[in-house]
């Protein structure tokens, strides 16, 4: 068998696996929204994508075997893009085949669903942890660069500009509490944490890039 024949035989499987990543990515995007970048840094996040790719590939193999269709790219593309629907549809081969070990099959599917839920939970925890770490690092850098007093001055000005009185009161309390912290390092980081809530992100980035300290 020549290399091109091997490639021709494998191409539909690869296509099904690759296209299966599209519904998986849509699902990950829908679940994690703008935090998708954090998920793609997580082993669990990649495992979710890998499971979808493998499931797409196996679904294509099963469809080919069950319906006796030829090994072609069009079928692979259809299966790759629609495999979540195919697997969940009551008309598919999974629920259509009545076997004595249906209970076992159901439990096996439950095990897979549980595994998927666990991976989603782990990916969510990884994303949460990365986000918390990023907030802490930005706060530490802001505190080191500008100090609690200068940051506090800027933050107070922005709190006063807030339209919502309840938010204004809450953040004023948070800022006063932060400025009252005895430990200098904690004080700077705490004020920076308040800044992360009330100062727009582009301004925070500008403060991080800035060579001169902020004015008090």
Binding site for other proteins (CB under 8 A): 31-33, 124-125, 127-129, 131-133, 135-136, 139-140, 164, 166-167, 170-171, 173-174, 177-178, 180-181, 183, 185-186, 189-190, 193-194, 196-198
For residues 85 and 131, which CB has a smaller minimum distance to other proteins in the complex? 131
DSSP string, 75-124: HHHHHHHHHHHHHHSTTSHHHH---TTHHHHHHHHHHHHHHHHHHHHHHH
**Token pair for residue 72?**
């072609």
Distance CA 168, CA 202 (A): 21
CB of residue 162 to other proteins, shortest distance in Å: 9
Closer to other proteins by CB, 13 or 126: give it. Answer: 126
Cβ of residue 47: shortest distance to other proteins, in angstroms? 18
Closest approach, Cβ 157 to other proteins, in A, equals 17
**Residue (of 1, 2, 14, 4) closest to 73 by Cα position:** 14
What is the closest distance, in whole angstroms, from the C-beta atom of residue 176 to other proteins in the complex? 9
Instruction: Output 93 or 158, the one with its CB closest to other proteins.
Output: 158
Question: How far is residue 214's CA from residue 25's CA, in Å, rounded to a whole number?
Answer: 41
């Amino acid at each position: 068998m020549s290399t091109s024949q091997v490639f021709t035989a494998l191409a539909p499987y690869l296509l099904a696996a690759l296209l299966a990543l599209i519904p998986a990515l849509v699902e990950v995007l829908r679940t994690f929204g703008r935090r998708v970048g954090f998920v793609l840094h997580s082993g669990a996040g990649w495992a979710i994508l890998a499971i979808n790719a493998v499931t797409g590939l196996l679904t294509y193999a099963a469809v080919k075997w069950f319906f006796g269709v030829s090994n072609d790219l069009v079928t692979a593309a259809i299966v790759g893009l629609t495999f979540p629907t195919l697997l969940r549809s009551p008309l598919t081969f999974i629920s259509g085949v009545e076997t004595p070990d249906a209970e076992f099959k159901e439990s096996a599917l439950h095990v897979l669903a549980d595994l998927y839920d666990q991976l989603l939970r782990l990916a969510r925890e990884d994303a949460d942890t990365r986000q918390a770490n990023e907030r802490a690092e930005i706060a530490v850098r802001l505190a080191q660069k500008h100090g609690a007093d200068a940051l506090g001055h800027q933050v107070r000005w922005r709190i006063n500009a807030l339209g919502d009185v309840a938010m204004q009161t809450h953040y004023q309390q948070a800022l006063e509490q932060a400025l009252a912290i005895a430990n200098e390092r904690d004080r700077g980081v705490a004020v920076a944490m308040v800044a992360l809530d009330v100062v727009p992100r582009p301004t925070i980035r500008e403060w991080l890039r800035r060579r001169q300290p902020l004015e008090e």
